[in-house]
Amino acid sequence: MEDFLTLLLAGVSVGAVYGLIAIGLNLTFWTTKTMNFGQGSVMMLCAMLTATMVAGGWPQALSILVALAVIAVLMVFTETWTVRPALKIEGSMGWAVSTLGVGIVLQGLASLWFGSQALAFPDIIFTAIDNVVVFGVHVSLQYLAVLVLALALVVVFEALVRGTVWGQAMRAVSMDQDLAAVIGIPVRWIVLGSYIASGLLAGISGILVAQIGGTVDPAFGFELVIFGFVAAVLGGMGSTTGALAGGIAAGVLQQMVGGYISSAAQHGIAFALLILILVVRPQGFFGQREFVKV
Amino acid sequence: MLEVKDLVVSYGAVEAVRGVTLTAVPGAITAIVGANGAGKSSLLRAITGLAPVRAGQVLLDGQDVTRVPASKRAGLGLAHAMEGRRIFRHLSVEENLRLAWQFGRRRNQWGEALDRVFLTFPILKEKRRSQAGLLSGGQQQMLIVSAATICEPSYLLLDEPSLGLAPIVVREIYHFFTDRCRENGTTVLLAEQMAAMALNVSAHGYVLRQGQVVREGPSAELVNSGLIAALSSAYL
């Protein structure tokens, strides 16, 4: 029973991070119908930079802020040089190749700079062995902190999107870019902002996962972004609640399979489930079928 | 003053507008009539900055805005009710109006602006919390013209405001924008396939055919010249 609860908490908390990654992917999908296929490298870079700076003696909070600032600049570059040019041609999928390319280059550069060895990631609030006992079950504080932080970010994100003028403007851009431009919404800035926000969510996710795993290496983000993508598709592309639910479902499944069957089967089963769900419910759990009224 | 000089709009090899020059009559309605595909929408979309302009100029108050991005032209007092019921379908009626007010060139308070819309179209007040996509066609068109005029623009482009609507709703929409624009001294460009109706409310008219102006003149003259009958027989 204790094993089960431990796996469940691990699954829910890692899953909440997958949800964050998925929300980041959703964001740019809303504004431009594109997503950064190099997002895994963004997570890796953010975690690696943080780990390197902390190892170099910088304060943790400052290291994280600097790493996030680097990510923001990187996203400006990604949007301006790899996505926008491709979108000038109607129906072009060039952005998929170019964003993936940037991701691969970053991964290569990271191997060059940091070496391909895994770096130890510092304990930020709690260590891996900190825990509290709830009803006789040991609950890892690290997992709990990650879960709380991820959920808090989702709530803040949703409040910003629903409750502020800029959030509404972003939804407007996602529904009809031309109309948004005509009424004076600075579409260009909203798109750029969505890429920056998407990168920051990915960077934070990278730090959270690295915290749980304890190490980062240049290939670190690849698997994460795939789970983030699974979460987004499971939940129904574009839905925030869906992304969170999809992420948690994927995380729990991954942990259960890893814990009870074999950790080698984690991915296979996750994808088998993805295929199954897409066959039964192509729009995902929370996705709406587009209604078109004539 | 809203002027267009030798404007060419092309999508790849297809030229939708081929050298159009026109001046909108200040403070009045100027009609642009012509068949489907004559280039009316492309002309209006070029004026707002949505369609790719290959040559020529768009001038607002003498200022060349041809290279100004669409999102900045709203701030210059330009509004555009596009064809095809363009509306933020998943946002509520009030949210649609709010965004148009928030990002436009604001001259009035939000509360006043909203009250004015609700006074004109009480049905929109009733449906203020409904998703815009769930309104009837007529209600959507009311919302669209209300959103386009909520900031009291200096220039208003209307693209086929009558398309697909019941005659009684068309009359209501036409009343609304003719009254409102006369009151505010708005300069209007009205694109319509229904030539009779558009020429009836306008001071001046242009006839477009295959992207070029084939005729222009005071609307009354165009009506008397038998143009409407010619247009109807040629295009309908």
The 10s digit of each residue's pLDDT in A25-47 is 999 998 988 999 999 999 999 99
Chain segment B166-184, per-residue pLDDT in tens: 999 999 999 999 998 889 8
Q: CA of B98, closest CA in chain A: separation in Å?
A: 9
Look at B71 and A169 and tell me if their CB atoms are within 8 Å: no
Dump the DSSP string for chain A.
-HHHHHHHHHHHHHHHHHHHHHHHHHHHHHHHS---TTHHHHHHHHHHHHHHHHHTT--HHHHHHHHHHHHHHHHHHIIIIIIHHHHTSTT--HHHHHHHHHHHHHHHHHHHHH-SSPEEPPPSSS-TT-EEEETTEEEEHHHHHHHHHHHHHHHHHHHHHHHSHHHHHHHHHHH-HHHHHHTT--HHHHHHHHHHHHHHHHHHHHHHHHHHHSEE-TTHHHHHHHHHHHHHHHH-TT-HHHHHHHHHHHHHHHHHIIIII-GGGHHHHHHHHHHHHHHH-TTTTT--PPP---
Q: CA of B64, closest CA in chain A: separation in Å?
A: 18
The owner of tokens 């190892």 is: A55
Chain segment B118-148, per-residue pLDDT in tens: 999 999 999 999 999 999 999 999 999 999 9
Chain segment A267-291, per-residue pLDDT in tens: 787 778 778 877 888 777 776 655 4
What mean pLDDT do residues A96-106 have?
Answer: 92
What mean pLDDT do residues B67-82 have?
Answer: 93
Nearest-Cα residue of chain A relative to residue B99: A169
Chain segment A160-197, per-residue pLDDT in tens: 988 898 999 999 999 999 999 999 999 999 999 999 99
Q: CA of A172, closest CA in chain B: separation in Å?
A: 6
Residue A176 touches chain B, beta carbons under 8 Å = yes
Residue A70 touches chain B, beta carbons under 8 Å = no
Set of chain A residues whose Cβ sits within 8 Å of the Cβ of B113: none
- Distance from C-alpha of B53 to C-alpha of B67, rounded to nearest angstrom: 9
Question: Over chain B, what is the mean pLDDT?
Answer: 91
What does the pLDDT read at residue B236?
44
Q: What percent of chain B has pLDDT over 90?
A: 77
Residue A294 touches chain B, beta carbons under 8 Å = no
Name the residue facing B104 among A179, A184, A188 (closest C-beta).
A184
Label residue A9 left, alpha or beta by phi (over 0 means left) and psi (-120 to 50 means alpha).
alpha
In B, what residues contact A, Cβ < 8 A? 48-50, 69-75, 79-80, 82, 86-91, 95, 98-100, 102-105, 133-134, 147
Give, as one character, the DSSP assignment of residue B126: H
Give, as one character, the DSSP assignment of residue B98: H
Q: Give per-residue burial for B177-197: e unless 16+ CB within 10 Å, then b.
A: bbebbeeeebbbbbbbbbbeb
Q: Break chain B into its structural domains and give their ranges.
A: 2-86+154-235
Residue A181 touches chain B, beta carbons under 8 Å = yes
Domain A2-280: which topology? ABC transporter involved in vitamin B12 uptake, BtuC (1.10.3470)
Q: Break chain A into its structural domains and give their ranges.
A: 2-280
Look at A171 and B75 and tell me if their CB atoms are within 8 Å: no
Look at A171 and B98 and tell me if their CB atoms are within 8 Å: no
Name the residue facing B88 among A175, A181, A188 (closest C-beta).
A175
What does the pLDDT read at residue B153?
93
Q: Which CATH number fits domain B2-86+154-235: 3.90.1300.10, 3.10.105.10, 3.40.50.300, 2.60.120.330?
A: 3.40.50.300
Q: CA of B95, closest CA in chain A: separation in Å?
A: 8
B233 pLDDT exceeds 90?
A: no
ipTM of the assembly? 0.92
Q: What percent of chain B has pLDDT over 70?
A: 97
B117 pLDDT exceeds 90?
A: yes
Between A136 and B196, residue with greater pLDDT: B196
pLDDT band for position A294 (cuts 50, 70, 90): very low
Q: What percent of chain A has pLDDT over 90?
A: 46
Q: CA of A293, closest CA in chain B: separation in Å?
A: 8
Set of chain B residues whose Cβ sits within 8 Å of the Cβ of A180: 71
What does the pLDDT read at residue B107?
80
